[in-house]
Structure 1
Amino acid sequence: MVDFKYIVVGAGMMGAAAARHLSAATDGVALIGPAEPLDRKNHNGVFSSHYDEARITRGFDGDPVWAELAKRSIGRYAQIEAESGIRFYHEAGCLFAGNGKGLGGDYVSSAMAARDRLGLEMEVFGSTQLGQRFPMFDLPDDHEGWFEPRNAGYVNPRALVKAQIAIAETQGAKLIRETTMRIHDTGSGVEVVADEGRRYTAQKVIVAAGGFINMADLLPSKVDMAATGRTIAFFELDEEKQQVFAAMPSTIVLAENADDIVYILPPVRYPDGKVYLKIGGESEKGRLETLGEAVSWFHSDGTVSEVDFLVKRAIELMPGLAGCLVTSSSCVASITRTGYPYIGYTQSSNIAVLTGGNFVSAKSSDEIGRLGAVLLLDGQLMEEDFAGQVGPVFV
């Protein structure tokens, strides 16, 4: 006799979505994961990178798999908001800007080739038009713009997770606010051991533990995935600056190589009551191998050199930010060998894995979670659900 049919381990963006979709289809679902720590600097357990107020969402993408994952997820935002009563999506639009060369140029070419198939509305701006349309930016003269005005902008990841969990609980899922330390196949099912020593059993378990998935005894063997630290800078905006940037879209400034790409979120009010404009990049590649290393990183404010780079880049692109108070923070990106999420079974036919956001998955988390639910309910994914692309790789 088991406690549950299905246990989802990890109550972040993917896990919460999986619990919602599973509980819509069956009873006997549990979601196990800790709540956000009240005191980040003194918390010594696991973290989640969804502890934030804004993540870019858009359908425009140079990769067809990620584009479709985003499209499916975005199409359900309104339903999730209506069923939960929690707003998390803000349609600010999303702007891509670049000179059309190198890596960034290839990305835009692929994305533009797919826009009609995906049904995306795109506005294209030359350099002169770009400055007129988005006066808060001072982009280089050789930069063009590709703007997605509808079904794009940003999501509040905290609120999205809250909405997913609220619906899942309404549908009968049980939320268990504990941290999983060990998972093992008993032969007749799966046992999950939590940090307080409590044990929970299920027919099947799917593990959505993000960057921490390899840092405890959760899987029969580790997934081939790097947990890498990323730094974010925040510009605090007073009322005057808020007006300057009020009409700003979510923005990705492309470059000829990955290290120079930056993403920028428009002004967002944070829990401390202040309004911040956030900028981040893709240049850090340091791996976090252990729980201790990950905790130390989350306790930090990021890397000083990366903060300096982001601040310099932000003021170059948006001179109106000069003089703003700057703070910084840290998060973790989970980068898989394939560049796609891992959604599949481990060496155990009772333990599946759902991880690998690759720094672009917040917008697509509902569909990724749905695929995790389909995997448990049907036993496999089909090609229309990217079975050939999302298979996990183990080490």
Structure 2
Amino acid sequence: MAVDFRFIIIGRGMMGAAAARHLSSMADGIALIGPREPEERKAHHGVFASHYDEARITRTFDGNLAWGTFAARALDRYREIEAKSGISFFSEVGCLFAGPAPKSEQDYIERALTVSRTLGSNIETIAPSDLGQRFPYLAVPADFTGYFESKRAGYINPRALVRAQAKLAEQGGVSLIEATVTSLRDAGSHVEVTAGGRSYSAERVLVAAGGFSNFHALLPRPVDTRVMARTVALYEIGEREMAIFGHMPSTIVLGDREEDHIYILPPVPYPDGKTYLKLGGDTEALSFARLEDAGAWFRSDGSAAELAHLARVALQLMPELAGCPVTSAPCVANFTPTGYPYAGFTQSPRIAVLTGGNFVAAKSSDELGRLGAVLLAEGRLGDKDFGGELTPVFAAA
């Protein structure tokens, strides 16, 4: 039968919009389906996305070669995307890691230094005696060493990046359909997609719905992921604080365990007209298995207990924040048991899935979108794209 589209991408977030842009240079007959950001978050009862924010850290420094490669490939395309779309989203302010000296070759820092050499990234090692002088905004233990990536690092505005991707996708011939997909069915010769009360058909479909990929029965079988609650602290920055923090790089302070790391974004203007310095961690244990629970979390202000924890850490690391108003916001992180994103086909040869950001994927979203596009167009991913590592794991039938 004739289909409405050759390919449909479900999910208009960071990975889905990137997949649509890349696929537009490979094929015709593409649709990108997903809702826009709700105007009133606390009154919205549909799906959400985690890119509803103004800043995400970007860097290639990573203890895993695949993740470092995904980031480097994406970063190398940022300026081209900005130039072609006319939308700026990348601030190349650098990224600083600070932590104790590695104890073994398996420590995160040693692995990241090895990956950086492989990728050709320029990482400056800053001795503990010099760290405080170079980065006076940060108060860390006297034995901490710094690892500073000045190029191909800083932060991106995820909202602006998604706008840029969608704009270029549409210019490339992609049909943008502003609706929420509520059902998906392999009809044998094609896939039927229901969105916004209408039905669409396609030869192949890519589900790139982030933490919402298992909701609305979009997949023949749910992928094995944990959708975890995350709370961020937002410090309102005034003129005094801008003099102290205004030129800081993105910063990650290492803890005893990887989940104890704290990330800090420089002061960034937000839509409410205020400027915020944001920080967050990776320790919350609340997870969601139902759309209703995830939606309720996004309508909240996050966890008061986590905000209190982050506020204590913030004042230890940045004492000059004392007295600044602090608020919180909710987010979710979508973790896979493999530690890698999923990019592969489901039990249906016509339905593929791209998800599993593992709390580190925003910076790599353009490359992950490219992998989703290659998957749809060619039917598989090769070794140079880490195809084996990205094989989806599905929940038991």
What's the TM-score once normalised by structure 1's chain length?
A: 0.98
Match in the other structure for 1:88: 89
Match in the other structure for 2:315: 315
Paired with 2:104 and 2:117, the residues of 1 have a C-alpha distance of 22
Give the 3 Å change call, closer, same or farther, for CA 161–131 of structure 1 in structure 2.
Answer: same
Question: Is residue 2:195 matched to residue 1:191?
Answer: no
Unaligned runs of 5+ in 2: none
Tell me if structure 2 keeps the 8 A contact 1:98–1:105.
Answer: no
Match in the other structure for 1:371: 371
CA root-mean-square deviation: 1.2
The 5 Å alignment of 1:58-137 reads 58-101=59-102, 106-137=107-138
Match in the other structure for 2:40: 39
How far did 1:26 drift?
Answer: 1.4
Match in the other structure for 2:143: 142
Q: Secondary structure at the match of 1:251?
A: strand
* 1:245-297 Cα distance to aligned partner (Å, 9 max, x none): 01110000001113421100001000111110000000012210101100110
Paired with 1:41 and 1:298, the residues of 2 have a C-alpha distance of 8
How far did 1:116 drift?
Answer: 1.9
Where do 4+ consecutive residues of structure 1 move more than 2 Å?
100-105
Tell me if structure 2 keeps the 8 A contact 1:98–1:104.
Answer: no
Structure 2 counterpart of 1:148, one-letter code: E
Question: Is residue 2:21 matched to residue 1:16?
Answer: no
Give the 3 Å change call, closer, same or farther, for CA 78–271 of structure 1 in structure 2.
Answer: same
Structure 2 counterpart of 1:153, one-letter code: G
Q: Secondary structure at the match of 1:132?
A: helix
Tell me if structure 1 keeps the 8 A contact 2:4–2:200.
Answer: yes
Match in the other structure for 1:243: 243
Q: Secondary structure at the match of 1:175?
A: strand
Paired with 1:258 and 1:3, the residues of 2 have a C-alpha distance of 46
Unaligned runs of 5+ in 1: none
Structure 2 counterpart of 1:275, one-letter code: T
Match in the other structure for 1:202: 202
Question: Is residue 2:243 matched to residue 1:216?
Answer: no
* 1:5-35 Cα distance to aligned partner (Å, 9 max, x none): 0000000000000000011111100000000
Paired with 1:262 and 1:242, the residues of 2 have a C-alpha distance of 21
Tell me if structure 2 keeps the 8 A contact 1:130–1:144.
Answer: yes
Give the 3 Å change call, closer, same or farther, for CA 285–100 of structure 1 in structure 2.
Answer: farther
How far did 1:370 drift?
Answer: 0.3
How far did 1:352 drift?
Answer: 0.3
Question: Is residue 2:255 matched to residue 1:255?
Answer: yes
Give the 3 Å change call, closer, same or farther, for CA 64–24 of structure 1 in structure 2.
Answer: same
* 1:102-139 Cα distance to aligned partner (Å, 9 max, x none): 79981100011222221111111111200000011111
Structure 2 counterpart of 1:118, one-letter code: L
* 1:75-113 Cα distance to aligned partner (Å, 9 max, x none): 000110011000000001000001135799811000112
Paired with 2:315 and 2:106, the residues of 1 have a C-alpha distance of 23
Percentage identity across aligned positions? Answer: 55
Paired with 2:47 and 2:105, the residues of 1 have a C-alpha distance of 34
Give the 3 Å change call, closer, same or farther, for CA 314–176 of structure 1 in structure 2.
Answer: same
Moved more, 208-217 or 39-48: 208-217
Paired with 1:30 and 1:100, the residues of 2 have a C-alpha distance of 49
Paired with 1:12 and 1:90, the residues of 2 have a C-alpha distance of 20
Q: Secondary structure at the match of 2:215?
A: coil
The 5 Å alignment of 1:297-312 reads 297-312=297-312
Tell me if structure 2 keeps the 8 A contact 1:342–1:391.
Answer: yes
Tell me if structure 1 keeps the 8 A contact 2:10–2:207.
Answer: yes
Match in the other structure for 2:230: 230
Tell me if structure 2 keeps the 8 A contact 1:13–1:366.
Answer: yes
Number of residue pairs aligned between Structure 1 and Structure 2: 394
Paired with 1:393 and 1:88, the residues of 2 have a C-alpha distance of 33
Paired with 1:114 and 1:264, the residues of 2 have a C-alpha distance of 23
Match in the other structure for 1:159: 160
Paired with 1:306 and 1:103, the residues of 2 have a C-alpha distance of 31
Q: Secondary structure at the match of 1:25?
A: coil
Match in the other structure for 2:278: 278
Paired with 1:376 and 1:272, the residues of 2 have a C-alpha distance of 39
Structure 1 counterpart of 2:159, one-letter code: R
How far did 1:353 drift?
Answer: 0.2
Q: Secondary structure at the match of 2:287?
A: coil
Paired with 1:104 and 1:177, the residues of 2 have a C-alpha distance of 49
Paired with 1:55 and 1:17, the residues of 2 have a C-alpha distance of 16
Q: Secondary structure at the match of 1:333?
A: strand
Paired with 1:217 and 1:77, the residues of 2 have a C-alpha distance of 34
Q: Secondary structure at the match of 2:335?
A: strand
Moved more, 256-265 or 202-211: 256-265
Tell me if structure 1 keeps the 8 A contact 2:3–2:201.
Answer: yes
Paired with 2:312 and 2:55, the residues of 1 have a C-alpha distance of 22
Q: Secondary structure at the match of 1:78?
A: helix
Match in the other structure for 1:392: 392
